[in-house]
């Protein structure tokens, strides 16, 4: 805790966009203004900070955005911010606006940047976990995950209809380079026969054996959900291998891709983002600095930024036992 009072705060979205980021921005802007702070939007993430693309926000600046996907502040990856010169330039721009507190909405890469920045300069940072991957320790859910997983479910349900009509095996690749939560949740929720994710070693021959056994009992319609970062490879590699082993099977692949990032946020994501944005401002006002605001067991939870970088959360083995039993 620190006694230094913030008077002007900046908010930015960084890294991959996630549905619900706009709801978080809205909450930050309106909570700040309500408490007498001046609030500035830093456009295009850290790149905008370096280029002084900084705009003063009013309450009406965030009207009519709670239901919109993407981010009105735009986002960009910034190589320059990785350099000390880039960060110094960013700091000087913030100082020229009198900004003395920063709220960063993004993933672990964004938090790494915020942590380094706050260690080098006297600007406290608060992180809000905005990523569809749900791969940040310190919060049960991240902004965007619920929307992304529901988008995936809606698409997989449609694929199931056509797969069933043709007795086809469909391999569906969902997003998740380092984390398999979208695959795991959407796979269970759509009754997939197999879910392949980075956190769990894929025994591809066991998958083949199980498909052969299902073929014998005339269960020909099967769904396999694969996270793009599965260690065996994404959907393309899995499809190629299965086609070699099961030459008679009718196999199709669908890569869901960026459809999972867009769209109007679900109720859960709007509420999560609103609560996190509101509490982020309170953190800065109370001097609770350089933490990530999360929600654990429906209670606000604060994790030091230094710990809030990507943690390989262990996924319980009984998820996979359940998938096997429910898809039998």
Tell me the backbone φ, ψ of residue 54, rounded to 5 degrees: -125, 130
Please tell me whether 280 is known to bind a ligand: no
Contact assessment for residue 309 and residue 111, using Cβ atoms and an 8 Å cutoff: yes
Q: Is 300 among the annotated ligand-binding positions?
A: no
The answer to whether the annotation marks 16 as part of a ligand binding site is yes
The verdict on whether residue 108 carries a ligand-binding annotation is yes
- Establish whether 45 is an annotated binding residue: no
Contacts of 68 (CB under 8 A, 6+ apart): 22, 264
* 230's tokens: 């599965």
Active-site option among 100, 133, 135, 146:
133
Task: Choose among 283, 291, 277: nearest CA to 25.
Answer: 277
Residue 228 labelled as part of a binding site: yes
* 73/247 Cα distance (integer angstroms): 49
Under a CB-based contact definition with an 8 Å cutoff, are residues 252 and 169 in contact?
yes
Does 192 carry a binding-site annotation? Answer: yes
Phi, psi for 152 (deg, rounded to 5): -60, -45
Active site residue 167: no
**SS3 category, 96:** helix
127 is in an annotated binding site: no
| Residue 110 is labelled as binding a ligand | yes
Pick out the residues of the known binding site for substrate: 131-133, 168, 175-177, 228, 252, 258-261
Active site residues: 133
Pick out the residues of the known binding site for Mg(2+): 108
Pick out the residues of the known binding site for ADP: 26-30, 160, 191-193, 217, 219-221
Pick out the residues of the known binding site: 16, 26-30, 77-78, 107-110, 131-133, 160, 168, 175-177, 191-193, 217, 219-221, 228, 252, 258-261
């Amino acid at each position: 805790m620190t006694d230094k009072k913030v008077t002007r705060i900046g908010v930015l979205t960084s890294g991959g966009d996630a549905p619900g980021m706009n709801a978080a921005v809205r909450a930050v802007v309106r909570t700040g203004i309500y408490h007498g702070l001046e609030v500035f939007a830093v456009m295009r993430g850290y790149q905008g900070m370096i280029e002084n693309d900084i705009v003063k926000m009013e309450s009406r600046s965030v009207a009519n955005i709670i239901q919109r996907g993407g981010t009105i502040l735009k986002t960009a990856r910034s190589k320059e911010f990785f350099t000390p010169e880039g960060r110094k330039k960013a700091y000087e721009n913030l100082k020229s606006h009198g900004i003395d507190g920063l709220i960063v909405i993004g993933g672990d890469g964004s938090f790494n940047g915020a942590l380094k920045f706050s260690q080098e300069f006297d600007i406290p940072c608060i992180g809000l976990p905005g990523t569809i991957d749900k791969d940040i320790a310190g919060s049960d859910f991240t902004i965007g995950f619920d929307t992304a997983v529901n988008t995936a479910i809606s698409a997989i349900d449609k694929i199931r209809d056509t797969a069933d009509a043709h007795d086809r095996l469909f391999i569906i690749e969902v997003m998740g380079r380092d984390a398999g939560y979208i695959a795991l949740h959407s796979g269970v929720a759509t009754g997939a026969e197999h879910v392949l994710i980075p956190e769990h070693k894929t025994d591809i021959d066991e998958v083949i054996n199980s498909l052969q056994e299902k073929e014998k009992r005339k269960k020909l319609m099967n769904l396999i959900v694969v996270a793009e970062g599965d260690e065996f490879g994404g959907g393309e590699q899995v499809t190629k291998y299965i086609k070699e082993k099961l030459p008679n099977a009718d196999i199709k692949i669908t890569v869901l891709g960026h459809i999972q990032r867009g769209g109007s946020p679900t109720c859960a994501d709007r509420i999560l983002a609103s609560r996190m944005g509101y509490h982020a401002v309170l953190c800065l006002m109370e001097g609770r600095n350089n933490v990530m605001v999360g929600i654990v067991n429906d209670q606000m939870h604060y994790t030091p930024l230094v710990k809030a970088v990507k943690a390989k959360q262990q996924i319980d083995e009984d998820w996979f036992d359940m998938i096997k039993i429910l898809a039998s």
